Copies of this chain bind each other. A is one copy, B any other.
């Protein structure tokens, strides 16, 4: 902003700055900090009724300002955020004639500082298309590899080398779904019959499937696909509100322990929504969107956020929401912010995650926002 600085100096030098004639300006391009700041957050919008025009908005939750956006084609999913917050990649799908013609899937790399498309490897045109979840394209802890879930309806994963910004390859997954990373080169998938399928990456990113667990989840109270990573464990939630903590330390995934989000007296309350829960690593708090309702309400928006101490498996707090929310996320710094959005509405609500107090609403986005992605944190 050299021009502005020069002008300010000029005006300070004159006696009546308010009367100085405005000076001709030069049109500039903005840049951003090199690293995503702790209270910056990406809002993904699938643009459901104009799905060719998916996008994500970058917002500074402290200033309440929009910082920029990316455009990302048909059925926008989520961003693959590098752990250091300096770059990210976006899996995207394009057809030659918009809604028709040859399909091309790519992963487009961006620097945070300029939001300008860089390397763009073509990947198999098999990317999952539908409502996005965090497990459709996660970055592995450590940040070397990123994985993209494919569904055609055959299922597979495409491995991306995030450093080389190239595709490694596509690997079949025996028909199990989604991607739940548990280490720099280790992940599992979830199978339709209630089992978990382990898998590893070698040094080059080639996937080898490991053992499949026995059936871990009940058919009459299935776990949702909306697992939450605490930094060391995966938590899965059932339709009725059970929490299954996964032990991924051995060859075969198992349930380490199970507990319930609700007491018997609270059994009409259930978890729900699209991005149903968020975990704050520093405090060990779990934030869950809860609503009152019976069976088949597992996608209903939350009317309250219930806050849990995960280590003690106890509820700390209930945060009443002014209006229902379909997505919740929390920043990972030590003054954490709690974010919520609602499908059909256009604002991001920002709260103090420790008190639950509403700080501000930032409006003008959406109206079909899906997954909220706060600034990433490096793996321990």
Query: Which A residues lie at the B interface, using CB under 8 A?
Result: 47, 50-53, 71-74, 92, 94, 96-100, 104, 106, 108, 117, 120
A53 touches which one: B52, B104, B108, B117 (CB < 8 A)?
A: B52
CB <8 Å contact, B96 and A94:
yes
Contacts of A99 in B (CB 8 A): 71
Complex CA distance for A52 and B62, rounded to whole angstroms = 31
Minimum CB–CB distance for A13 against chain B, Å: 38
Copies, count: 2
Complex CA distance for A100 and B73, rounded to whole angstroms = 10
User: Which of A94, A96, A117, A120 has the most chain B CB atoms closer than 10 A to its own CB?
Assistant: A94
CB <8 Å contact, A117 and B94:
no
A-B contact pairs, 25 of them (CB 8 A): A47-B50, A47-B53, A50-B50, A50-B52, A50-B53, A51-B53, A52-B52, A52-B71, A52-B98, A53-B53, A53-B98, A71-B99, A71-B100, A73-B97, A73-B98, A74-B98, A92-B97, A92-B98, A94-B96, A94-B97, A94-B98, A96-B96, A96-B104, A97-B106, A100-B117
Contacts of A74 in B (CB 8 A): 98
Complex CA distance for A239 and B74, rounded to whole angstroms = 41
User: Which of A52, A104, A108, A120 has the most chain B CB atoms closer than 10 A to its own CB?
Assistant: A52
Q: Which residue of the partner chain B has the closest CB to A93?
A: B98
Complex CA distance for A74 and B47, rounded to whole angstroms = 15
Complex CA distance for A94 and B74, rounded to whole angstroms = 13
Contacts of A72 in B (CB 8 A): 98
Contacts of A96 in B (CB 8 A): 94, 96, 104
Complex CA distance for A263 and B123, rounded to whole angstroms = 67
Contacts of A71 in B (CB 8 A): 52, 98-100
Known contacts A94-B97, A94-B98, A97-B106; can you find 20 more A-B pairs with CB under 8 A? A47-B50, A47-B53, A50-B50, A50-B52, A50-B53, A52-B53, A52-B98, A53-B98, A71-B100, A72-B98, A73-B97, A73-B98, A74-B98, A92-B97, A94-B96, A96-B104, A97-B108, A97-B117, A97-B120, A100-B117
Complex CA distance for A117 and B94, rounded to whole angstroms = 18
Contacts of A104 in B (CB 8 A): 96
Q: Which residue of the partner chain B has the closest CB to A52?
A: B53
